[in-house]
Amino acid sequence: MEKEDLCVIAMTNCEELGLKVNNEIKKIRKTDQNYLVPINISRFSDGEGKVTILESIRGKDVYIISDTHNYSITYKMYDFIHHMSPDEHFQDIKRTILAIMGHAKSIKVIMPFLYESRQHRRKSRESLDCAAALLELKNLGVDDIVTFDVHDPNIQNAVPTLPFDNFFTTNDMLKIFLKNEEFDSSKTLVVSPDTGAMDRARFLADILRVDVGMFYKRRDISKIVNGSNPIVAHEYLGASVKGKSIIVVDDMLASGTSMLDVAEELKSRGAKKIFFFTTFALFTSGYKKFDEAYEKGIFNAVYSTNLTYIPEEILAKEWFCAADCSTYLAKIIDNLNKGYSISALIKDNSAITSYKKEKNLYK
């Protein structure tokens, strides 16, 4: 049997996810073949780095997976311990590409959390980092970008000749949500915490066949606090939330302050239960305020994914649930490698379909 042309490189920032994806691809293809290619990322004492590929990738369709927001990765520099930043993780992606370019048949970069995705448009005299990063990857010979729930899908227009595939983790989060929670479409409402998250809120609402509401963040544009204009108030637009279970949807949970403010607003309006759906749970300011809000009954649970690093102490929290997206990612890689359509994977709603069949809810 001819050896397959697929190989996967999992950067050190997502080795666990890479192992799971490798196992899932083996299940899909019903083979014992290993698709993971080992690499070595080494550092000099001044912090400079290099990447070495430890197996041949000649003629292979290479998929590089990187969690650019894994802040747990450290190295020793000038005799002190240094935590890697997203900038350094992105630089290692480029080093990996440089190590394999000219030998691989194709190079595809999978960044579940797209690097610099929040810096996707220019409002004044500021850097346009995400567009510049995509252009860098294209110039290095990358053939495709695969990402999840990107902050603004329009960023793909920055490099129109570079294929850009954006997937949603909604179905994987719904699987564990429907297993853990009681669901009644007549008593459920999906809410967007701001105007920017309205499209993903609408996406989930359409799958669940429920109504959707939205908050508008009124900001003080005369001030800048921690890099952004502070929120003065959250104005709500939509149907009544009284007595309903609310699913608040956003692409990422950074500090979480805004999400908790929205939850308090919903509670003051009579919401019964509140759940957060977020693809990337970063907890940039820690989790203490979530512990406190949970104890006060402000929210019921946070549903997220394993597509970016989450500390063990958060994974152990009663209020936190992480969906394993390794099977989904393996299917994406398998389909792309075989040249199959990915439309069904983007629009996957099998979780709610299976739930309705199980509960005999089809009329």
């629009």: which residue's tokens? 347
| 260, pLDDT greater than 50 | yes
Which CATH number belongs to the domain containing residue 257 in this structure?
A: 3.40.50.2020
Instruction: For residues 13 and 157, state if they share a domain.
Output: yes
User: Does 83 reside within a domain?
Assistant: yes
| 47, pLDDT greater than 80 | yes
Instruction: For residues 109 and 20, state if they share a domain.
Output: yes
pLDDT of residue 2: 45
Instruction: For residues 125 and 178, state if they share a domain.
Output: no
pLDDT of residue 186: 93
Domain boundary among 134, 149, 168: 168
Domain boundary among 168, 203, 234: 168
| % of the chain with per-residue pLDDT over 90 | 79
Amino acid identity, residue 118? Answer: R
Instruction: For residues 148 and 242, state if they share a domain.
Output: no
User: Does 122 reside within a domain?
Assistant: yes
Question: pLDDT tens-digit profile of 266-318?
Answer: 999 999 999 999 999 999 999 999 999 999 999 999 999 999 999 999 999 99
Q: Structurally, how many domains does the chain consist of?
A: 2
CA atoms within 13 A on the CB side of 66: 27
Question: pLDDT tens-digit profile of 23-32?
Answer: 999 999 999 9
User: Does 314 reside within a domain?
Assistant: yes
Instruction: For residues 34 and 164, state if they share a domain.
Output: yes
Q: What is the DSSP pairing of strand 273-281 with strand 301-305?
A: parallel
Secondary structure of residue 196 in the 3-state scheme: helix
User: Does 148 reside within a domain?
Assistant: yes
| 333, pLDDT greater than 80 | yes
| 319, pLDDT greater than 90 | yes
179-184 average pLDDT score: 94
| 325, pLDDT greater than 70 | yes
pLDDT band at 356 (very low <50, low <70, confident <90, very high): confident
Instruction: For residues 156 and 174, state if they share a domain.
Output: no
Instruction: For residues 116 and 179, state if they share a domain.
Output: no
Q: What is the DSSP pairing of strand 106-110 with strand 61-65?
A: parallel
Contact 44, 95 (CB under 8 A): no
Instruction: For residues 213 and 117, state if they share a domain.
Output: no
Report which DSSP code applies to 186.
G
Contact 266, 239 (CB under 8 A): no
pLDDT of residue 123: 79
pLDDT of residue 1: 33
Contact 297, 274 (CB under 8 A): no
Mean pLDDT of the chain: 92
Domain boundary among 125, 151, 168: 168
| 218, pLDDT greater than 90 | no
| % of the chain with per-residue pLDDT over 70 | 94
Instruction: For residues 125 and 270, state if they share a domain.
Output: no
CA atoms within 13 A on the CB side of 52: 4
Instruction: For residues 13 and 132, state if they share a domain.
Output: yes
Q: Return the number of other C-beta atoms located less than 10 Å from residue 234's C-beta.
A: 17
242-267 average pLDDT score: 94
Q: Return the number of other C-beta atoms located less than 10 Å from residue 221's C-beta.
A: 9
Instruction: For residues 17 and 83, state if they share a domain.
Output: yes
pLDDT of residue 361: 60
User: Does 196 reside within a domain?
Assistant: yes
User: Does 120 reside within a domain?
Assistant: yes
| 86, pLDDT greater than 60 | yes
User: Does 154 reside within a domain?
Assistant: yes
Domain that holds residue 10: 6-168
Instruction: For residues 256 and 218, state if they share a domain.
Output: yes
pLDDT band at 110 (very low <50, low <70, confident <90, very high): very high
User: Does 182 reside within a domain?
Assistant: yes
